[in-house]
Structures are given as structure tokens and as C-alpha cells.
């Protein structure tokens, strides 16, 4: 048991370092990806910015610039309004 | 200090002494934290992409409003807006909701003048970009192409109704690459005329994308607002301009994208509450071994604070292992498995196995919170029982 404890300590440190490396890797700026994104938005005129892939149920959750009215928003109700399943919010995007 | 270090080292021994309990705790922590870390990773990735969408979008975005709601605007309004001093360019755009295929898959039709497609944009698609003409040429999003089994050269039977010109077959000339921002997934890009034909709305567009130098933005915004109506000759009344600058759009972003993250956090507060109870059972409460062990240590002359330090180190090691495993599993889930299963919880319209590259970023703040939560959950479970045993007399603890 005595011999295993230092090994466990070193293994724990190694695991934490690996996790830190994963965090650093995902936070590194990817120039190629940024260039592709800018080209796409130059093509489509800056499309999207919400957590939805289409306009089918809630326009602002796709892009609040395209439409700001959520059909699930029925006005101020005491205690909260109905949740919009697309944006996941009572009022995801303020009215412009 | 040396004594404290020696006591702390026994915390590592305590982890090894009860391997089953340690594995149970680590597994519980990893199981609870992995979806939490992965979910927040997607949320941050999506927020980054949204920022890019606004940063590379138009300087000023103009839509029309009537009865307090957005309405299409006449394409002639583009000329009115381009006459505003300071405006260097106006691009009319159609953005419309359509449905395609046997399963009526929702898609976003975007129509822009094909002549103004940037030359470099061909790198965004496999195939080529749509051209203007009598044929309905379309470039479709990666997820849509996969759902409908479309490839370059495929034809789509008429999916729309146009009473004036009739319906036509559409030709897929390009498929968007899956490593673009997520909004390409259900996109159908076409020339402005083609899009107008598909939605049967000739002479109308959804919005105007206005370019102007940064220093003129506020002045241009004010001038467009002063236009009064984007359809001055419309007998049904004025269509009021609704204007949004890039800065205003950026200010709106956190409200939209991160709202899901807040709800997700709320759900995880409940999950952590359950986890604390589960860990109390697995790591301390109900385990007579811990009480017995503490009794022996007390009988050997250990002080209560030394026993608590030992318990704290044990909890910290278990928490560090569990949280690190959670981070690595979340990284693999999002990076190697492309967020299979969890992406659809954050990106509405995404398939269980997304047909596009799921954006993610493991931001340091949520990861730090995950480690702290992990430590709190573990230590609450074990320290309570350790403290109760440590404050009892050795005879009672050994009984």
C-alpha cells in the first residue's frame, strides 16, 4: 500500500495535466477554421447566431436579425411564460 | 509542516485502502460531470460561432416592419437605402423557411444575387456555387444532404408551388462542407431570382445587407430610420424600417445563445443534489469501515484535525481523478464522437448523430467549477461521516 500511494499521486497529477492539455487544445485559435467561417458568412451575408438550425418553429433562435418574434411567446405571464422548445427560453432574444 | 505532509500522504493510502469505494466515487463523479462539461463545451463553441456570424455579417441589417412584426420589403427599397449618404453597398437577401423531401425536412432557403458571391466562397462547397438562370440551382447544407441522400448532380422534384411560372426540378450543384458554422447544416443557397421563384414572391426580399464605413454607422442608421417607409407607394400603408447595426447585434448575442446554458446549469444543480446523496451513501454514510478505521486512528493517538486532513486529501484526490476523467471523456465525446446524443440538446434541429462538425470549446471557467463541484460533492459525502466518527471516543467508534 505504501508503494502504491506515490504511484497514485503521480497518476492523479498526470490525469489533471492531461485534462488541462485538452482544455488548452480546445481554446487554441484555429486560423483555418476562422477563415472558413468568415468566407461562409461573406457568402451567406452573416447567417445564423442562435441555437437552432432552421426557422421552422422559432425564427429568433435561428437568427434574431432575420426574425425577432417567437411564436411560443404569449406575453408576460405571472410566474413565467411558456418555454420555447427551440430556444429553450421564455424570451431568448430581446426585441430589437 | 512535515507532519502535516505525512498526514496528507495517508490520504492517498486511504484511497487505495478502499478500492471499491474509490472506484464507485470516481465513477459517480465522472458520470455526473461528463455531460455537464460536454454541454457547456458545446454552448461555448456555439457562442463563439455566433460572435463570428455577427462580426462577419453586414455592417447594418435592415428589415421591414408593419403592425409591429417583420414583413418582406420591396426590392426597390434597396435603391432607396443605397442613396443614403455613407452607404457603400446594399445586398437584398431572401431568407425563408421551406420543407424538403418525403419527410418534410425543415430547411432555410437563402437567396442572394449570384453575381455577388465571393470568388473564395467556392471553398465552402463540394461542387460549385449556384448560378443565376432558368434552372433552379441549389447548394444544400451537409446535414440536409445526408438526410435526403443528396449529392452534387442530384435533382430534387418540385417541392414548392408557383402559380405564375409553374414548378420545376431543382439541381443540386453544391453541398456545403460540414466544417463550416452550424447554420450551414439545413441551408439551401440559391440565386436571388431562383429563391424568389421558389417562394413565389417576386419583387420582395426579407432583408437588406448594408455596407458602410464604421464611422458612419450611427449616422447611416439614423438616416435609414428617417426614410419613414421602405414601400412609399404601397396602398396598404408604410413598411417601417427596422435597423440593426453590428454592435447592436453583438449586444443581443449573450441573451440568445447562452440561455440554453443557463437552463442546462439549472438541471445540473438538481443532478448534483442527487449526486451528493449518492456519494454520501457510497463514500461515507452507512459504511461502518470508515468509523472503525477512524476509531483505530484515534486509539493510536491521531487528533481530530489530522483525521479530517486525511479525509480531505482523500476527497481531493478522488475529486481530481473524477473531474479529470470527466474532462477527458467530454473531450473524446465532442471531438471523436462529434457530440453524438448531446448536440441535439443544445442545437435545435441537429440529428442524434449530427451531420455537421459540432462546435465546442472547453472554457477554463466551467472546468474549474467542475473541479470545485466535484470536490464539494466528494468531501460532503465523506467528511461528514469522518467528522462524526472522529469526534466520538475511540471506544464508541470501534464499537
pLDDT tens sequence across B283-324: 555 466 777 778 888 888 888 888 888 888 988 999 999 999
Q: Would you say B71 and B231 are in contact if contact means Cβ atoms under 8 Å apart?
A: no
CA gap B33, B321 in Å, rounded: 12
Closest approach of chain A CAs to the CA of B281, in angstroms?
24
Residue the block writes with cell 465523506: B382
Q: What is the pLDDT of residue A25?
A: 93
Beta bridge partners of B171: B137, B155
Which of B256, B313, B362 to mutate: most A Cβ within 10 Å? Answer: B256
Among all residues of chain A, which has the CA nearest to that of B264?
A: A88
CA gap B368, B375 in Å, rounded: 11
| Alpha-carbon torsion (B120, B244, B347, B364), positive or negative | positive
Among all residues of chain A, which has the CA nearest to that of B366?
A: A23
CA gap A77, A6 in Å, rounded: 59
Measure Cα distances from A7 to A1, A10, A12, B12, B387 in Å.
10, 5, 8, 10, 28
Closest approach of chain A CAs to the CA of B244, in angstroms?
7
- More reliable by pLDDT, A38 or A61: A38
The grid coordinates listed for B67 are: 403592425
| Chain pair A-B, CB pairs under 8 angstroms | 230
A 10 A CB-CB count for B104 gives 11
Contact: A46, B244; criterion CB under 8 Å: no
- With contacts defined as CB-CB under 8 Å, which chain A residues touch B331? 22, 25-26
pLDDT digits (tens, 9 = 90+) for B36-79: 899 889 988 988 999 899 999 999 999 999 988 889 999 999 99
Among all residues of chain A, which has the CA nearest to that of B47?
A: A49
For residue B348, give the DSSP letter: B
Q: Which of B50, B58, B320 sits opposite A12 (nearest CB)?
A: B320
Q: Would you say B173 and B137 are in contact if contact means Cβ atoms under 8 Å apart?
A: yes
The grid coordinates listed for B372 are: 470545485
> What residues of chain A, 33 to 92, have a C-beta less than 8 Å from chain B?
33-34, 36-58, 60-69, 85-89, 92
Strand-strand pairing, B60-66 and B69-71: antiparallel
Which of A17, A21, A29, A40 to mutate: most B Cβ within 10 Å? Answer: A40
For residue B358, give the DSSP letter: P
pLDDT lower than 70: segments of chain B = 1-2, 254-267, 275-288, 381, 394, 397-399
Q: Which of A18, A45, A89 sits opposite B57 (nearest CB)?
A: A45
Q: What is the pLDDT of residue B305?
A: 84
Residue B318's nearest CA partner among B380, B391, B267 is: B380
- With contacts defined as CB-CB under 8 Å, which chain B residues touch A12? 317, 320-321, 324
- With contacts defined as CB-CB under 8 Å, which chain B residues touch A62? 108, 183
The grid coordinates listed for B242 are: 427596422
- With contacts defined as CB-CB under 8 Å, which chain B residues touch A26? 41, 331, 335, 360-362
- With contacts defined as CB-CB under 8 Å, which chain A residues touch B259? 51, 87-89, 92
Residue B276's nearest CA partner among B381, B384, B382 is: B381
Alpha-carbon radius of gyration of chain A: 23
Task: Give, to the nearest 10 degrees, the angle between helix B304-335 and helix B364-391.
Answer: 150
Strand-strand pairing, B69-71 and B89-100: unpaired
Contact: A96, B252; criterion CB under 8 Å: yes
Q: Would you say A53 and B143 are in contact if contact means Cβ atoms under 8 Å apart?
A: yes
- 3-state SS string for chain A: CCCHHHHHHHHHHHHHHHHHHHHHHHHCCCHHHHHHHHHHHHHHCCCCCCCECCCCCCCCCCCCCCCCCCCCCCCCCCCCCCCECCCCECCCCCCC
Residue the block writes with cell 447548394: B139
pTM, rounded to two decimals: 0.85
Contact: A67, B350; criterion CB under 8 Å: no
By CB neighbour count within 10 A (0-12 exposed, 13-18 middle, 19+ buried), where does B86 fall?
middle
Amino acid at each position: 500500500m505504501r508503494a502504491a500511494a506515490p504511484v497514485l499521486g503521480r497518476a492523479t497529477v498526470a490525469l489533471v495535466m492531461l485534462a488541462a492539455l485538452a482544455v488548452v487544445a480546445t481554446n487554441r485559435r484555429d486560423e483555418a477554421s476562422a477563415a472558413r467561417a468568415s468566407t461562409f458568412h461573406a457568402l451567406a451575408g452573416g447567417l445564423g447566431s442562435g441555437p437552432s438550425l432552421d426557422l421552422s418553429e422559432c425564427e429568433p433562435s435561428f437568427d434574431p436579425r432575420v426574425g425577432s418574434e417567437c411564436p411560443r411567446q404569449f406575453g408576460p405571464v405571472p410566474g413565467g411564460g411558456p418555454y420555447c422548445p427551440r430556444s429553450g427560453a421564455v424570451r431568448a432574444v430581446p426585441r430589437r | 509542516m512535515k507532519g502535516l505532509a505525512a498526514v496528507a500522504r495517508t490520504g492517498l493510502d486511504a484511497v487505495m485502502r478502499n478500492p471499491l469505494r474509490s472506484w464507485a466515487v470516481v465513477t459517480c463523479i465522472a458520470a455526473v460531470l461528463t455531460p455537464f462539461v460536454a454541454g457547456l463545451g458545446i454552448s461555448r463553441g456555439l457562442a463563439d460561432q455566433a460572435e463570428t456570424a455577427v462580426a462577419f455579417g453586414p455592417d447594418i441589417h435592415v428589415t421591414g416592419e408593419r403592425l409591429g412584426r417583420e414583413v418582406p420589403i420591396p426590392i426597390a427599397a434597396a435603391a432607396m437605402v443605397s442613396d443614403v449618404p455613407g452607404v457603400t453597398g446594399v445586398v437584398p437577401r431572401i431568407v425563408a423557411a421551406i420543407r424538403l423531401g418525403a419527410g418534410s425536412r425543415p430547411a432555410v432557403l437563402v437567396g442572394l444575387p449570384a453575381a455577388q458571391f465571393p470568388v473564395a466562397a467556392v471553398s465552402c462547397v463540394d461542387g460549385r456555387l449556384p448560378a443565376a438562370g432558368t434552372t433552379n440551382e441549389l447548394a444544400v447544407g451537409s446535414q440536409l444532404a445526408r438526410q435526403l441522400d443528396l449529392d452534387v448532380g442530384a435533382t430534387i422534384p418540385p417541392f414548392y408551388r408557383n402559380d405564375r411560372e409553374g414548378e420545376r426540378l431543382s439541381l443540386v450543384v453544391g453541398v456545403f462542407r460540414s466544417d463550416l458554422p452550424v447554420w450551414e447544416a439545413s441551408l439551401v443557397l440559391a440565386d436571388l431570382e431562383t429563391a424568389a421563384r421558389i417562394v413565389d414572391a417576386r419583387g420582395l426580399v426579407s432583408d437588406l445587407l448594408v455596407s458602410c464605413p464604421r464611422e458612419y454607422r450611427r449616422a447611416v442608421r439614423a438616416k435609414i430610420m428617417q426614410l419613414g417607409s421602405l414601400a412609399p407607394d404601397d396602398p396598404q400603408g408604410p413598411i417601417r424600417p427596422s435597423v440593426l447595426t453590428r454592435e447592436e447585434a453583438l449586444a443581443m448575442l449573450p441573451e440568445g445563445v447562452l440561455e440554453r446554458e443557463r437552463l442546462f446549469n439549472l438541471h445540473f444543480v438538481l443532478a448534483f443534489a442527487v449526486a451528493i446523496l449518492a456519494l454520501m451513501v457510497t463514500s461515507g454514510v452507512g459504511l461502518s469501515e470508515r468509523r472503525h478505521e477512524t476509531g483505530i486512528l484515534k486509539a493510536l493517538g491521531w487528533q481530530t484535525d489530522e483525521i479530517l486532513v486525511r479525509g480531505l486529501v482523500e476527497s481531493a484526490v478522488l475529486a481530481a481523478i473524477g473531474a479529470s476523467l470527466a474532462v477527458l471523456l467530454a473531450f473524446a465525446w465532442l471531438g471523436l464522437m462529434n457530440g453524438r446524443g448531446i448536440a441535439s440538446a443544445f442545437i435545435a434541429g441537429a440529428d442524434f448523430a449530427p451531420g455537421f462538425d459540432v462546435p465546442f470549446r472547453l472554457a477554463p471557467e466551467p472546468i474549474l467549477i467542475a473541479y470545485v463541484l466535484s470536490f464539494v460533492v466528494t468531501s460532503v459525502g465523506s467528511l461528514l461521516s469522518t467528522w462524526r466518527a472522529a469526534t466520538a471516543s475511540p471506544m464508541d467508534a470501534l464499537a
